[in-house]
Structure 1
């Protein structure tokens, strides 16, 4: 797949390749050369052994020969005169004809199509590229080609917007230097065609650190249940996964392809996992959502799951007045009172501009929910019917009464 893509790119850019085998003149020595130890016995000196050595040499030169032949160039192998290669390039590029034509075969099957150029004069010889690869549409693409398309979009410098999507990530501490980072991907249902009551999406995600190294990867295929495809245009397809990261700055890129037409979209966003070691109040990110779903109680490893119920994050923070709002967050390593237990108080305050229009009752917690992580969990429910339509700033008030320390993170919410 990689070789075909390289040849196709060169042909479309009208580039002829003249590769040179820098090993120079090659000689096949029975038993091998001095670059490796010889095998024992006399088998290496048989006709079969020497033939295998020749086959290995030809295979090592096969790729550069293919690159040269299929792009209209010439490969230089088994020679120590590298000047010949440069002279040939200068001669070939000093005088040439550029011919073009439109093919009547519009099938985008990705197959190799040969080109033949004939001359009427028998005393002349023509050198030209042997052919080209036809365009490849999604319907004709095989599994390897489809994976290559996802990888190509992942490495592309410019994001694709054919399929709209949004991505969000949070963080929850699972160890002093490790964080559970939930990744949520949302695709508008109106952008996903439904064929035969089936919807399938391919998801590829990568997390890179500041050095550009891949430190997290997501690859999955999302199948929307048949009973959920009705009315999909008015909803969204939500996919959730997670990676584990240390504190630091990262870049998250997600590519999504819908598998009916092959349209793709990508989304790239920074992810900052804080170092909580010096924080006055060690607190997770705030996850906001409007939907809960039941899950297996035995699978509560995700911080978004508690007592058999999982909070589905809202990426847009847009809520209707008929919905209920859920806020989930954790506090770690809270201070201890004289009674040797934590005392955390929290509330939510909603502001329009600088005016506070609503505040929830103060919630007090004096226990630890996850002792292995030192985490006290909060999940607060608010009825959006009590808020007028408009844009709000929600301030999450968290006070550690044992230490007198506090934190007031904020997030924007739009009520319609």
Structure 2
């Protein structure tokens, strides 16, 4: 069970930074709800807004509140906010900002709550090499069915405008990307073929810690915008603890495992997978113990289970991680596939557990996916 606290850090940070309470490690939800209701029955509400330009400027501002002389009281609040621009800057840029898609995307990313006019997609995973900081890859996109197509010569065309920002646990914006993707449909086609229109953005040389990804997608024709965000923790591998990396989910068409392995993999940015396809997943195992006092390769097994509503629906069984041909035993790659043929459309959870048979330890990661 030692791996669970690490996977819960994002939940604790999200609850703490937004003024909420995290209820963890229990199926007795009534107890957690009772504590939340008790909080709501005894409280004083404080309100504040920045009225001077010193608290504005379009930057992230942290908020700290304490009650003098009452250390026994608990203060719950949003730990920070993205401040609006100064009055002067707002007036100077009002005309241009309203007409600039990049400015609209930036405003959507900075909003306290994601916009929902367009269903934006966002997934992320990291890889931690031995000789550098971690690389975080974010896949941002939108379904082609959500875009507005316009008629043109030879067919119809649409475009998706995307933005992705990386923010650290102190609210500092580290890096941002913008992209535009053009989509076309041939003349004579009926409904627009459904596919995820996605772009990968890479953030390199990241130190261990908690990060937030904020993304937005814009339909270039209609101007509709949707947002998405997620937390991701990059572990400190220097501690030597067994770590199972983030899971990359993909769709592999066909029922034949051999043909599926040879076919191109369609990466998912969080959109639903096709019913009857095969779920392809990959991850890395970090810091597995070496056998034979360090002279032999690690001995690690993997178990993948598909769940829904707390029930285990598919158990892929235990599989040995192959180490033949590997030079870096501290980072073991692993990939597998699971047939989705027997599952109806809906939302599911993929749970993967790595067991280090030398050290007698295990690590678990979870990821969500859906079937259309």
Taking structure 2 as the reference length, what is the TM-score of the superposition? 0.60
8 Å contact from structure 2 (residues 144, 192) kept in 1:
yes
CA distance in 2, matches of 1:321, 1:307: 20
Offset from partner CA, 1:206-259 (integer Å, 9 cap, x none): 112133322122122212255599543644322222212222122222232222
Partner of 2:247: 286
> Of the two, which has the highest radius of gyration?
1
Answering whether residue 163 of structure 2 is matched by residue 208 of structure 1, we say no
Inter-CA distance 137–281: structure 2 relative to 1 (3 Å threshold):
closer
Answering whether residue 285 of structure 2 is matched by residue 331 of structure 1, we say yes
Q: How does 1:97-116 map to 2 (within 5 A)?
A: none
Partner of 2:200: 240
Higher relative contact order (CA 8 A, sep 6+): 2
8 Å contact from structure 2 (residues 323, 329) kept in 1:
no
| C-alpha RMSD over aligned residues | 3.7
Inter-CA distance 186–340: structure 2 relative to 1 (3 Å threshold):
same
Q: How does 1:264-275 map to 2 (within 5 A)?
A: 264-275=225-236
More strand by share: 2
Show structure 1 runs of 5+ residues with no match.
Answer: 1-66, 72-131, 293-305
Partner of 1:124: none
CA distance in 1, matches of 2:368, 2:131: 29
1:331 shift after superposition:
1.1
Offset from partner CA, 1:92-119 (integer Å, 9 cap, x none): xxxxxxxxxxxxxxxxxxxxxxxxxxxx
Inter-CA distance 193–173: structure 2 relative to 1 (3 Å threshold):
same
SS at match of 1:335: coil
Offset from partner CA, 1:132-182 (integer Å, 9 cap, x none): 9997898xx5xxx44444444444445433322132222221247622211
Show structure 2 runs of 5+ residues with no match.
Answer: 1-87, 254-260
CA distance in 2, matches of 1:133, 1:376: 50
Inter-CA distance 356–243: structure 2 relative to 1 (3 Å threshold):
same
Partner of 2:143: 188
Partner of 2:210: 249
Q: How does 1:293-312 map to 2 (within 5 A)?
A: 310=265, 312=267
SS at match of 2:129: strand
CA distance in 2, matches of 1:154, 1:309: 32
CA distance in 2, matches of 1:319, 1:349: 17
Offset from partner CA, 1:283-338 (integer Å, 9 cap, x none): 2111222248xxxxxxxxxxxxx99955502515x445411111111112322222
8 Å contact from structure 2 (residues 147, 158) kept in 1:
yes
Question: How many residue pairs align between the two structures?
Answer: 268
Partner of 1:39: none
Inter-CA distance 385–279: structure 2 relative to 1 (3 Å threshold):
farther
Inter-CA distance 403–238: structure 2 relative to 1 (3 Å threshold):
same
Q: How does 1:99-178 map to 2 (within 5 A)?
A: 141=99, 145-157=100-112, 159-175=114-130, 178=133
CA distance in 1, matches of 2:311, 2:326: 36
